[in-house]
A and B are shown apart, each in its own frame.
Chain A
Amino acid sequence: MKDFFDKALLAPLEHLGGQVLAVLPNVLAMAIIVGVGFVAAWALGHAVERLLRVMRLDELCNRLGINAALARGGVKADPSRIVGRTTYWMIVSFAVIAGLGALNLQPINRFAQSFLAYIPHVLTGGVILVAGYLLSNFISQGVLIAAVNAGLPPARLIANMSRWGVQLFALAMALEELGIAQSVVIVGFGITFGGVVFATCLAFGLGAKDLAKDYLERTLSNRPRDRAPDDLRHL
């Protein structure tokens, strides 16, 4: 009876207790890592936010039109707050993954490894998107001003096309970086961009054929412009 009691009841319990005791330090380590991670995330998130406010990042973003774009997208937080919160969640993510890694479980380890390997691609994709957005704003503003100064009535259309062209290009690059449907993105971008160029050429050919004809005639025959002469010397 005693033998049965030892083998049938105590042995499994001892085994379970041994397993629990073996895992307990890992669980404790995970709890500590996650806890410290949350505290560090909170502290660093706030520090980054305050530092960026001191550096007047919000004013800079306001000049670059980023605040307006965020407002258009329904984001009410200012850029310093966004960067601060992003820092917070990144550290929390790292802490949780590191904590889970402390459990030393194979599936979690594999997930953590692939997640960590993917992070540089996410960051690169994010940088490409932000840079593309800023570049598109800069280029479209320059194109708009140049088109107005050249007296082209569809100035806004031309500027918007340049903006969307650059943003589309940046999006395609970012998706390729993330490895999302790479071939679809490249083909899709090629078709869309080619289509836009073709449509533009067609629209110009049909809508502005007289303008093109007049330009070519003037260029080839040195014929002066029809409009009244203007020989203001500005300086």
Chain B
Amino acid sequence: MGSDAIEKTSGRLQQKPPVALTPETESRVQAIGEAEILVGIPSYNNVDTIAHVVRAVSAGLAKYFPGRRAVLVNSDGGSSDGTPEAVSRAVVDFSALLVSDHQSPLQKIITPYHGIPGKGSAFRTVFEVARRVKAKACAVVDSDLRSITPEWIELLLRPILDEKYDYVAPYYLRHKYDGTITNSIVYPLTRALYGQRIRQPIGGDFGFSGRLTEHYLDQHVWESDVARFGIDIWMTTEAIASGARVCQSFLGAKIHNPKDPSADLAAMLMQVLGAVFALMEEHDKVWLDRKVSEPVKLFGFQYEVGVEPVNVNVERMIAAFQLGLEDLVPIWEQILGRGIVAELLPLRAASPAEFRIADDLWVRIVYEAAVAYRARVMPREHLLKALTPLYLGRTATFVLETQGLTTAEAEGRIEQLCLVYESRKSYLVERWHGQPQA
């Protein structure tokens, strides 16, 4: 397993031509030559936060990897607010950090990326630079982070360099109602499918080996939706499916620039679920035979910290679900089958006190949606967006069930859901093979 497995998988693929870099970047890469470590920061109009991220990365590299040649790559999507200038201006006062100033100087590459606009294309340029400089260990971090510290860099890179892992997923401390798509769908589904308990498969900040970088670059996905969105779950799933050695690092709380939480949930759900379901199709030979999941090594010192409070309006979520039940039943029946929709119908007039979508029912909904996505029972965009009220209904259930629980206790509730996903996997396998609903 591990690195050898990645190389074998890569070997089956046709070697792809190198990704085009701008002439300035090409000459910069040639001037740098080789580097052991590379940290990538994709950006688009992040002038408020990116300087802090660059300083944290610089300090982390200086503090924890003083003797190693390192490169920082800012892959920018055409920012108009001066983000690249902020990157080039950001400097760290090493003396204040009690770091010796006899460091190997950090090389910066600030480059625009080519291709379809999106985080995936930004990452592709980072991967290409990593390949050119023959980086042994790489990390990528979001450019809107406010809570990143130098320790993140060590935690994302050290397992690659010293422990020979290929992929480091982040492990954040989050509020119990933060990351509800991750908690109710992506984490339990990824765990049940691929057998690896990676708690934040779409975390956004990762570490990975040079060998895995080569593997990523050799995949034929860079003209697809992966280039636009879905790169996070793609990297995680591809790492597991290729047989790479994966681990997690505890990074503490993740605080990033506030985004409008109501910013088209349906589009967000479509992007995430579309990526997960597409990967299920691609890797079904990998997951169909996996029966159990196993824990994934977690590095870092774990601690409790206060997380930002999250306001939730349960009534509104239930109303959104009930509106769906009013109008989308024929569409849901096409996706999920009449049996499952019939089980939802009693919730049509349920009050918050009575409102519940049970774990088992929810798991079957997700599995049936995956099967329907594969069978293309309707345009895929419609299928995925039609799941939004169901997701809100399930989220309302989770909130109602965990009101008054601590974050740790709510985590136990998520663990229960994961076990249902795993115990019901045989149902998915049967349906995947085309057997009719029970």
Contact = CB atoms under 8 A, between A and B. Distances in A.
A156 B177 CA distance: 32
A54 interface: no
B284 to A, nearest CB: 21
A229 interface: yes
A151 interface: yes
B311 A229 contact: yes
B269 interface: yes
Interface string B305-349: 000001111011001100110011001000000000000000000
A227 B328 contact: no
Contact of A148 (B181, B323, B378): B323
A230 B316 contact: yes
Interface in A8-37: none
Contacts of B378: 63, 141
B396 to A, nearest CB: 10
Nearest to B268: A234
Contacts of B310: 231-233
Contacts of B385: 145-146, 149
A155 B324 CA distance: 10
Interface residues of B, number: 39
Contacts of B324: 148
The contact size tier of chain A is: 20 to 34
Interface in B373-430: 376-379, 381-382, 385-386, 388-389, 395
A142 interface: yes
B182 interface: yes
Contacts of B268: 234-235
A204 interface: no
A145 B328 contact: yes
Interface string A133-147: 000001001101111
Interface string A156-196: 10000000000000000000000000000000000000000
A137 to B, nearest CB: 10
Contacts of B376: 63
A77 to B, nearest CB: 22
Interface in A215-234: 227-234
A7 to B, nearest CB: 83
A155 B323 contact: yes
CB-CB nearest 8 A-B residue pairs: A230-B313, A149-B266, A234-B181, A228-B313, A231-B261, A155-B327, A229-B311, A149-B388
Given A141-B382, A148-B327, 18 more contacts: A63-B377, A141-B378, A142-B381, A144-B331, A145-B386, A148-B389, A149-B389, A151-B320, A228-B316, A229-B311, A230-B261, A230-B262, A231-B311, A232-B178, A232-B180, A232-B395, A235-B182, A235-B272
16 contacts: A142-B379, A149-B266, A149-B385, A149-B389, A151-B320, A227-B316, A228-B311, A230-B311, A230-B312, A231-B261, A232-B178, A232-B261, A233-B178, A233-B179, A234-B180, A234-B269
Interface of A: 63, 138, 141-142, 144-149, 151, 153, 155-156, 227-235
